[in-house]
Amino acid sequence: MRQHCSDEDGLAAERLLTKAAQMDSFEDIRILTIGQPVERNSRLHSLNVKMEQGMVKLNTRISRTEGVEEETKNVAILAGEHQYTRLYIAWTYFKMHHGGVETVVKELHLRIWVLRSQPSVRSIIRNCLLGRIRNTKHMEPFTGAHPSARLVHHQRPFTFTGLDFCGPYLVTVGQHQKRYVALFTCLTTRAVHLELAGSLSADAAILTFRRFMARRGCLTEIWSDRASISFVPTTN
């Protein structure tokens, strides 16, 4: 009959594998066991380490926190190139649903401290097909050439103009009424001219256009989206 492992068995196995990985990676365990500091040329010299439960652990600033697991207060230190560490990183990477480098590193720091963690995580992601697909740079389409109206020079502003309407906006003229805004844009200088329109009817569009020309002068070309409400009837 198949039996499932309990949480205690999984935690005990994790500790044994961590101890074995540290024995393969660090030569300073014997020095730390007798209570002496590590040598200057050691990879652990820049870290505040200690021996706890037979493992090399990082002495963090949250060691006095209550209600937090001991493995989170003082995390074990592992070398990024060890096979067990790479398997642990891959398991965390899949658990985080193929997350990014920073996401995986932050999740790792809840249980272990990996030396050169970011290069190790990037190596795992590069070897993952889904990770390579997600990080692939998509090909950007080439932009088309500007129309000739955008490229003229030595011309008066609004010689080539784009027109569109926006709204409605509620205004108070005795009572609440709807008003629209005609947006005139110079296609060459990108200058903007606004006119108030009473509605989207053809008559309101013609009046708005006349007020604009009285202020800015005659146009050579006007570009619009040919809205059937205002623009098309004005051509008749």
Query: What is the predicted pLDDT for the residue at 115?
Result: 92
Instruction: Please give the CATH number for the structural domain made up of 148-234.
Output: 3.30.420.10
Mean of the per-residue pLDDT values of the chain = 86
Query: What is the predicted pLDDT for the residue at 86?
Result: 94
CATH code 1.10.340.70 region(s) in the chain: 7-134
Residue 233 pLDDT exceeds 90: no
Residue 194 pLDDT exceeds 90: yes
More confident residue, 50 or 232: 50
CA dist 54 to 108, 148, 221, 236, Å? 20, 77, 83, 91
**Does the domain made of 7-134 have the CATH classification 3.90.550.10?**
no
Query: What is the predicted pLDDT for the residue at 50?
Result: 85
Please, how many CA atoms are within 13 Å of residue 15, restricted to the half-sphere of its CB?
A: 13
Query: What is the predicted pLDDT for the residue at 1?
Result: 46
DSSP bridge partners of 49: 58
Residue 228 pLDDT exceeds 80: no
CATH code 3.30.420.10 region(s) in the chain: 148-234
Q: Compute the average pLDDT of residues 70-85.
A: 89
Does the global pTM surpass 0.75? no
Residue 78 pLDDT exceeds 90: yes
Residue 84 pLDDT exceeds 50: yes
Query: What is the predicted pLDDT for the residue at 235?
Result: 54
Query: What is the predicted pLDDT for the residue at 2?
Result: 55
Q: Can you list the positions of beta strands (E) in the chain?
A: 49-52, 55-58, 76-79, 112-115, 160-173, 175-186, 192-197, 221-223
Instruction: Read off the pLDDT of residues 90-149 as tens digits, 9 standing for 90 and up.
Output: 999 999 988 889 999 999 998 899 999 999 999 999 888 888 888 787 788 888 888 888
